[in-house]
């Protein structure tokens, strides 16, 4: 395409010094040949590679330390008290001087030792008032007069920009990763085909009451349980986030926002396509509104499980331990969700209060059961009873459902729990960021105190 402006991100990574030099020399030749501008983020260039660059931009924590001719950078550092030692690669010297990742490293400047942050501030302030800095500012202002808006100030993008970029990146990663959603979609389609054929055209006999309940419980519990398969990808996302967060690229809220909204299209696809196969093969209650509700509950359940696994990934980064932990939590929720043990039969002290109300399966089962049984009539095989039984009576007497509110309340609770789980995920990350430095400080204090005690003991005179 022969672009006029070309950005290269560490094009020499993994190459030896000879290969790096020839690659960069070729790039310089292409730039001269077509009159293009090449901007390169370079990783530890050799002195030969460094000499190929015409201009140099040194950035440190949002501050421009130097931006000008590469050949003049050594003089600039020397004039500000940071001369490059003899026989040292200039690029290594510049990066060592302005890198405070490894504080408390001390730099030698102005004939005395100063901290790296002081060195950065000194160089940045000196650059602003230097002739090179003023010339660059004038050039930028002149170029800007030719068109465009006001230059944005600040070292970070806005929250909306961060969120959109992270959402787009997450969408691309999810699409490329076969095991993230596509394999899960294929397996859920297969399971829904199994459901559809096992419970095919279920009818309205008395036996279909239990069969419908079993089928709906499987959808709410085990199909949502498949979302646990995304845990390995969640762990990788957390590793990338921690690394980029340490570099200050974006905030926690933008990460949570991007991760949440990027998954919505895929979870909707997983809910609608397999859900339609199971719903219509089984012959559940007719009406598009009933199917839409069914798909929304399935979407909310899968979203809840993903949120739960994100919480686990933020606490338990180990792959195997995280899978076991997430599966165990869901197993407890499924067990007391109101199907395997009816609500009135659950032991009160713990399993019903509070576990039954904490488990999202309670609200998923109630919503799906109300959506399916309300308005329907089934044959009654009980001796001495009426020939038919209403769906409302089944919900109240057989399944012990709470009939004081509609199915939409159950769906609202599920969606509210999605928001709550994501807020918990946000809170855990923020808390971890604040607690880790405190723990490191507490661990280091005893050793420091011990060193002070030893120093005082060695310097105290002993009188006999």
- In this prediction, residue 104 carries a pLDDT of 56
pLDDT tens-digit series, residues 104-160? 555 555 445 678 888 888 899 999 888 888 888 888 888 888 765 554 444 467 889
- In this prediction, residue 273 carries a pLDDT of 92
pLDDT tens-digit series, residues 83-100? 888 888 888 899 888 887
Indicate whether this model's pTM tops 0.75: no
Dig out the tokens for 21 from the structure: 């030099």
Q: For 217-245, what is the mean pLDDT?
A: 86
Residues 6+ apart with CB under 8 A from 179: 229, 232, 233
- 374 has pLDDT over 90: yes
- In this prediction, residue 258 carries a pLDDT of 92
- In this prediction, residue 1 carries a pLDDT of 63
The model's confidence at residue 233, banded by pLDDT at 50, 70 and 90, is confident
- In this prediction, residue 460 carries a pLDDT of 42
- 443 has pLDDT over 80: no
16-30, 101-115, 165-179, 400-414: least confident range: 101-115
- In this prediction, residue 153 carries a pLDDT of 46
Q: Which residue has the higher pLDDT, 439 or 194?
A: 194
- In this prediction, residue 453 carries a pLDDT of 47
Mean pLDDT of all residues belonging to the chain: 85
- In this prediction, residue 132 carries a pLDDT of 87
pLDDT tens-digit series, residues 282-322? 999 989 999 999 999 999 999 999 999 999 988 887 888 88
pLDDT tens-digit series, residues 341-356? 899 899 988 898 889 9
pLDDT tens-digit series, residues 43-77? 788 889 999 999 999 998 888 999 999 989 999 99
- In this prediction, residue 261 carries a pLDDT of 93
Percent of the chain exceeding pLDDT 90 equals: 41
The model's confidence at residue 447, banded by pLDDT at 50, 70 and 90, is low
Of 366, 395, 362, the residue nearest 209 (C-alpha):
395
Q: For 180-209, what is the mean pLDDT?
A: 91
pLDDT tens-digit series, residues 211-226? 999 999 998 888 888 8
- In this prediction, residue 154 carries a pLDDT of 42
Instruction: Give me Rg for the CA atoms of the chain.
Output: 32
């Amino acid at each position: 395409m022969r672009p006029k402006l070309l950005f290269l991100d560490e094009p020499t990574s993994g190459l030896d010094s000879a290969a790096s030099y020839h690659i960069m020399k070729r790039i310089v030749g292409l730039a001269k040949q077509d009159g293009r501008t090449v901007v390169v983020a370079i990783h530890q260039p050799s002195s030969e590679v460094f000499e190929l660059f015409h201009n140099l931009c040194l950035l440190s924590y949002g501050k421009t330390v130097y931006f000008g001719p590469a050949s003049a950078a050594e003089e600039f550092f020397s004039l500000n008290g940071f001369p490059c030692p003899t026989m040292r690669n200039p690029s290594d010297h510049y990066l060592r001087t302005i890198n405070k990742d490894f504080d408390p490293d001390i730099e030698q400047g102005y004939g005395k030792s100063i901290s790296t942050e002081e060195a950065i501030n000194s160089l940045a302030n000196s650059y602003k008032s230097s002739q090179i800095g003023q010339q660059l500012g004038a050039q930028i202002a002149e170029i800007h007069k030719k068109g465009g808006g006001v230059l944005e100030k600040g070292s970070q993008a806005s929250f909306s920009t961060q969120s959109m970029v992270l959402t787009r990146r997450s969408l691309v990663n999810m699409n490329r990763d076969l095991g993230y959603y596509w394999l899960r979609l294929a397996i859920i389609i297969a399971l829904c085909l199994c459901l559809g054929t096992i419970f095919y055209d279920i009818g309205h006999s008395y036996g279909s009451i239990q069969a419908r309940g079993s089928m709906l419980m499987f959808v709410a519990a085990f199909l949502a349980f498949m979302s646990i398969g995304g845990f390995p990808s969640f762990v990788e996302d957390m590793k990338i986030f921690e690394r980029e967060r340490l570099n200050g690229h974006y905030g926690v809220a933008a990460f949570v926002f991007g991760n949440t909204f990027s998954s919505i299209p895929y979870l909707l696809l997983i809910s609608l396509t397999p859900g339609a196969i199971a719903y219509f093969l089984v012959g559940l209650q007719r009406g598009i509104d009933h199917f839409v509700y069914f798909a929304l509950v399935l979407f909310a359940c899968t979203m809840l499980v993903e949120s739960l696994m994100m919480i686990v990934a933020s606490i338990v980064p180990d792959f195997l331990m995280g899978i076991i932990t997430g599966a165990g939590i869901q197993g407890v929720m499924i067990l007391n969700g109101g199907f395997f043990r009816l609500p009135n039969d659950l032991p009160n002290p713990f399993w019903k209060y509070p576990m039954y109300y904490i488990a999202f399966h309670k609200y998923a089962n109630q919503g799906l059961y109300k959506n399916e049984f309300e308005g329907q009539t089934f044959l009654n095989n009980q001796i001495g009873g009426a020939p038919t039984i209403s769906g409302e009576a089944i919900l109240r007497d057989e399944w012990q459902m709470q009939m004081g509110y509609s199915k939409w309340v159950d769906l609202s609770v599920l969606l509210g729990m999605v928001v709550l789980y994501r807020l918990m995920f946000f809170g855990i990350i923020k808390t971890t960021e604040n607690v880790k430095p405190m723990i490191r400080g507490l661990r280091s204090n005893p050793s420091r105190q011990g060193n002070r005690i030893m120093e005082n003991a060695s310097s105290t005179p002993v009188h006999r």
